[in-house]
Amino acid sequence: MPGFHHVELWVADFGSAAAEWGWLLDRLGFRLEEEWPSGQSWHVGGAYLTITTSPNLSSRVHDRRRAGLNHLAFHAGPASGVDAIMADAPARGWTPLYQERYPHAGGPGHYAGWLENSAGFKAEVVASRG
């Protein structure tokens, strides 16, 4: 079956990442399947996202503008689901991006919101079409 098997995000501050990503992933329909002192795995469909820290980090700072991961984009259901996540996100450690063009920062036919967490990771929540 094509598609992602899993994505692993290495984070410097697991406590903050677990709270911020955990809230977003839960809202998007992921379920927490595994948890250990320095990590979590969140599953949906046949794929999962792991959030963990490692003693092998080469830097404690994430910069989405450097080579590597810029952002993760997630299906968020109808436009009202995107709107609800965007409204609740600031209280959960996420900063809305591109608000002056929300919800069409990706173009007139693309209904989505972009968020950045306290560590500088960016997530896009995309409405289903139709």
pLDDT average, residue stretch 43-62: 92
pLDDT average, residue stretch 66-79: 93
pLDDT bucket at 61, cuts 50 / 70 / 90: confident
Distance CA 86, CA 42 (A): 21
Out of 3.40.50.300, 3.90.850.10, 3.30.420.10, 3.10.180.10, the CATH code matching 6-54+70-126 is 3.10.180.10
Query: Does the pLDDT of residue 68 top 90, yes or no?
Result: no
* Strand 122-126 to 71-75 pairing: parallel
Average pLDDT of the residues of the chain? 95
Tokens read off for 87: 């409204």
pTM: 0.93
